[in-house]
Chain A
Amino acid sequence: MNEKRHIISLLVENEFGSLSRIAGLFSARGYNIHCLNVAPTNDESISRMTLVTFCNDQKIKQLAKQLDKLVDVVNVKDLTEETHIEREMLLLKLKCNKSQRDEIKRLVDIFRARIIDVTDTTYTVELTGATEKILAFIESMGKIKIIEMVRSGTLGISRGIDSLENIK
């Protein structure tokens, strides 16, 4: 049923139980959470959440209304409805022998990633970018063994002067 990817940005009261209220709404109403990021903002009483979900047009409207109805939610916006920028950070710990080191360095250069930790047998790489870039980089690892992968989940912000706070 025409499921599309939506990036939902939320401002929520930085209060006890806010996160589980939001997570609970998703599971209770049958929505998926593809990824979720929560962190403080410049206003210490408010946290910002960015959440990626896949659903159809009718369901996303209902979801936004249900989120807005939660007492802890200050503001909701579907970033995918307008021009926006999205970024994700990837930390990748790779097992590498001598012969693979050049190959990894080459890929790191191509993707403009950075090597942030080195041992005899491992490289740890950091990459930021939109999700497609992250996925392409992971794909390009080929035979290189990934020991550990950590992703921040998508972060998003609208372009221009618009901000989530001043919609209200």
Chain B
Amino acid sequence: MKLSGSEIIIECLKKEGVEYIFGYPGGAVLHIYDALFGDKKIKHVLTRHEQGATHAADGYARACGKPGVVLVTSGPGITNCVTGLATAHMDSVPMIIISGQVSREYVGSDAFQEADATGITRPVTKHNFLVDSRESIAEVFKKAFIIATTGRPGPVLIDIPKDLTDPKTKINFEYPKKVNLRSYKAPISESKVKIEEAAKLLASAKKPMIYSGGGVILGNANKELTSLVKKLGYPITNTLMGLGGYPATDKQFLGMLGMHGTYEANMAMHDCDILLAVGARFDDRVTGDTTKFCPSAKIIHIDVDPSSISKIIEVDLSLVGETTNILRSLNKAVTPHLKKINKAALKRWWLQIDKWRTKKCLSYKKSSKIIKPQSAIETLYEITKGNAYVTSDVGQHQMWAAQYYKFDKPNRWINSGGLGTMGFGLPAAMGVQLAYPKAEVVCVTGEASILMCIQELATCLQYRLPIKIINLNNRYMGMVRQWQEFFYEGRYAMSYMEAIPDFAQLSSSFGHIGIKIEKPSELKSKLQEAMNLKDRLVFVDIITDQEENVYPMIKSGQAHNEMHLSPTGKDTELA
């Protein structure tokens, strides 16, 4: 088959089973767009900003596990993608970004719309390629898909000079079945001896704790994790990225841990004697002060990335490999040791945990005058029966969504945990909705965050994406204001949102429906009304209590047992 460079690119994507491309055209990719014109198999989604395209592809990938594909032009096209790439890179999301480059003869000459795409994106991609010949396009694509989707996944960029996509020059095309990637290390499989050692250690615990992260979601290891945890009868907590990896409504689940984690999860982390970490990377928002992290615990760490082991916290036993495989082996290995578990000690541990639970750390003052943001999320949870896909932006609303929406299934909670990118929520929701057209997709956002990618409302109209935007409108960059209240004596420098648009009108001008909710008494009915509009995007602008803070909170540099549960200060004494 003789094909042009552009046709080769499209064939490669088809061979990889790509159904959507998220993109934005421009000079350097016009040949590719021309080849794509009228194609029946691959659907192109035109976003309204390249950042939106990257987040949409990212949301798609997080929801369905397939790599998200982005197509953008050179220069400003690719520089607009940098935030999206960094976001995906931090959270290990598989993505392929195809960027046009100026023709080879102009590379390095400061040509019109030339930017050093591979140079700029090197630190925010898992790998990147500058294609230097037509003959190598297919091989580069094959390599890119392998690298993006295996081991610890991540975004891979392919930069293609325009002349290579010229429709006039055609060459033989064959998609390689195999490529040589000698320097790319496949995850190793862990030795039986170490698995056995881990099983014994786990069974010897008197105060065990399991802490799982995004690696469980990315590695589709939720079933294996759940069966291990059930079998052991041990308590488990999830990181912000790991929510849904274990059913949140199960009684062994202690809630999220970390800076805004629950009292019981953080206290159990602090006091445990054996900690099993699965697909988690000991992020500083999780560990707090590392010198006071799990002071009396032996730590076992399962991860697909060898460089995650002992990066932040020195661990006692590491199991490196695909999370599912390791958990499966561990499940088997642990069975003969179950009878050795000290039942009395475990019972005492659960009694202690139940005591911590009586603190009811997520309770909050209800109000009949002003809508409490927490109650907005609780109501959303009730109405959607916990079945929605929830994306979020960054700030207080993100933490409340994580705390009050209980995720029983993986891939339902989609947020920028690592980079903390405001503007992520709406475009990510578009990707999720395209992956699951029938599903309820909700974007929980704040009045500051939503404006960062508001232009995507136009995309939502074009593709009829019936997303429900839940805007917790506190007229503040709430999270910034909270820090200023705590650490800067209430000097709210630049965290007040003046000149906030009328979001209901704004969304109707984009062709959508806008609803404003101001009274607690109408919260449920109006939210229900919005959710009932199944085939329309509805922007639900909820006016919330302006100065509500997110609790519990571990301030930076403090330990897990030094939480603040209320405005009155520290609350470390045991109940």
Q: Considering the chains assembled together, what is the distance between the CA atoms of A140 and B397 in angstroms?
A: 68
Q: Is A78 an interface residue (CB 8 A)?
A: no
Q: Considering the chains assembled together, what is the distance between the CA atoms of A118 and B118 in angstroms?
A: 46
Residues of A at the B interface (CB closer than 8 Å) are 12-13, 16-17, 20-21, 24, 28, 58, 61-62, 65-66, 68-69, 71-74
Can you name the residue of chain B whose Cβ is closest to the Cβ of A74?
B183
- Inside 8 A of B306's CB, which chain A residues have their CB? 65, 68-69
A68 smallest CB distance to B (angstroms): 7
Which of B122, B183, B309, B311 is the one whose CB lies under 8 Å from A24? B122
Residues of B at the A interface (CB closer than 8 Å) are 118-119, 122-123, 126-128, 130, 132, 147, 181-185, 305-307, 309-311, 314
Is A65 in contact with B183, judged by CB distance below 8 angstroms?
A: no
Q: Considering the chains assembled together, what is the distance between the CA atoms of A24 and B126 in angstroms?
A: 13
Q: Considering the chains assembled together, what is the distance between the CA atoms of A71 and B182 in angstroms?
A: 9
Tell me whether A62 and B307 are in contact in the complex, defined as CB-CB below 8 angstroms, given that A17-B118, A68-B185, A74-B183 are known contacts: yes
Q: Considering the chains assembled together, what is the distance between the CA atoms of A72 and B122 in angstroms?
A: 12
Is A71 in contact with B122, judged by CB distance below 8 angstroms?
A: no
B144 smallest CB distance to A (angstroms): 10
Is B183 in contact with A71, judged by CB distance below 8 angstroms?
A: yes
Is A71 in contact with B119, judged by CB distance below 8 angstroms?
A: no
Can you name the residue of chain A whose Cβ is closest to the Cβ of B184?
A71
Can you name the residue of chain B whose Cβ is closest to the Cβ of A65?
B307
Which of A16, A20, A72, A73 is the one whose CB lies under 8 Å from B132? A16
Q: Show 14 A/B contacts (Cβ-Cβ < 8 Å), sorted by A.
A: A13-B183, A16-B132, A17-B122, A17-B128, A17-B130, A24-B123, A58-B314, A68-B307, A69-B185, A69-B306, A71-B127, A71-B183, A73-B183, A74-B183
- Inside 8 A of B147's CB, which chain A residues have their CB? 71
Q: Considering the chains assembled together, what is the distance between the CA atoms of A74 and B182 in angstroms?
A: 7
Is A20 in contact with B184, judged by CB distance below 8 angstroms?
A: no
Which of B130, B185, B305 is the one whose CB lies under 8 Å from A16? B130
Q: Considering the chains assembled together, what is the distance between the CA atoms of A65 and B188 in angstroms?
A: 14
Can you name the residue of chain B whose Cβ is closest to the Cβ of A67?
B307
Is A69 in contact with B310, judged by CB distance below 8 angstroms?
A: no
- Inside 8 A of B132's CB, which chain A residues have their CB? 16
Q: Considering the chains assembled together, what is the distance between the CA atoms of A12 and B529 in angstroms?
A: 60
Which of A16, A17, A20, A66 is the one whose CB lies under 8 Å from B307? A66
A91 smallest CB distance to B (angstroms): 31
- Inside 8 A of B119's CB, which chain A residues have their CB? 20
- Inside 8 A of A61's CB, which chain B residues have their CB? 310
Can you name the residue of chain A whose Cβ is closest to the Cβ of B151?
A69
A52 smallest CB distance to B (angstroms): 21
- Inside 8 A of B182's CB, which chain A residues have their CB? 74
- Inside 8 A of A68's CB, which chain B residues have their CB? 185, 306-307
Is B183 in contact with A72, judged by CB distance below 8 angstroms?
A: yes
Q: Considering the chains assembled together, what is the distance between the CA atoms of A74 and B118 in angstroms?
A: 20
Is A62 in contact with B311, judged by CB distance below 8 angstroms?
A: yes
Which of B122, B309, B310, B311 is the one whose CB lies under 8 Å from A20? B122
Which of A28, A69, A73 is the one whose CB lies under 8 Å from B305? A69
Is A21 in contact with B122, judged by CB distance below 8 angstroms?
A: yes
- Inside 8 A of B305's CB, which chain A residues have their CB? 69
B374 smallest CB distance to A (angstroms): 38
- Inside 8 A of B128's CB, which chain A residues have their CB? 17
Given contact pairs A17-B122, A58-B314, A61-B310, a sample of 18 additional A-B residue pairs in the complex whose CB atoms are under 8 Å apart: A13-B183, A16-B132, A17-B128, A20-B119, A21-B122, A24-B123, A28-B123, A62-B307, A62-B310, A65-B307, A68-B307, A69-B185, A69-B306, A69-B307, A71-B126, A71-B183, A73-B183, A74-B183
- Inside 8 A of B185's CB, which chain A residues have their CB? 68-69
Q: Considering the chains assembled together, what is the distance between the CA atoms of A13 and B130 in angstroms?
A: 15
- Inside 8 A of A21's CB, which chain B residues have their CB? 122
Can you name the residue of chain A whose Cβ is closest to the Cβ of B181?
A71
- Inside 8 A of B310's CB, which chain A residues have their CB? 58, 61-62
Q: Considering the chains assembled together, what is the distance between the CA atoms of A168 and B184 in angstroms?
A: 12
Which residue among B118, B127, B183, B184 has the maximum number of chain A CB atoms within 10 Å of its CB?
B183
B126 smallest CB distance to A (angstroms): 7
Q: Considering the chains assembled together, what is the distance between the CA atoms of A21 and B126 in angstroms?
A: 11
B357 smallest CB distance to A (angstroms): 37
- Inside 8 A of A65's CB, which chain B residues have their CB? 306-307, 309
Which residue among A21, A71, A73 has the maximum number of chain B CB atoms within 10 Å of its CB?
A71
B175 smallest CB distance to A (angstroms): 20
Can you name the residue of chain A whose Cβ is closest to the Cβ of B185?
A68
Closest 3 CB pairs of A and B: A65-B307, A74-B183, A71-B127
A157 smallest CB distance to B (angstroms): 21
Can you name the residue of chain B whose Cβ is closest to the Cβ of A68?
B185
A133 smallest CB distance to B (angstroms): 35
- Inside 8 A of A72's CB, which chain B residues have their CB? 183
Q: Considering the chains assembled together, what is the distance between the CA atoms of A20 and B314 in angstroms?
A: 30
Can you name the residue of chain A whose Cβ is closest to the Cβ of B312?
A62
- Inside 8 A of A62's CB, which chain B residues have their CB? 307, 310-311
B318 smallest CB distance to A (angstroms): 11
B245 smallest CB distance to A (angstroms): 24
Can you name the residue of chain B whose Cβ is closest to the Cβ of A66?
B307
- Inside 8 A of B184's CB, which chain A residues have their CB? 71
A134 smallest CB distance to B (angstroms): 32
- Inside 8 A of A69's CB, which chain B residues have their CB? 185, 305-307
Can you name the residue of chain A whose Cβ is closest to the Cβ of B308?
A65
Q: Considering the chains assembled together, what is the distance between the CA atoms of A74 and B180 in angstroms?
A: 12
A100 smallest CB distance to B (angstroms): 47
Can you name the residue of chain B whose Cβ is closest to the Cβ of A63?
B307
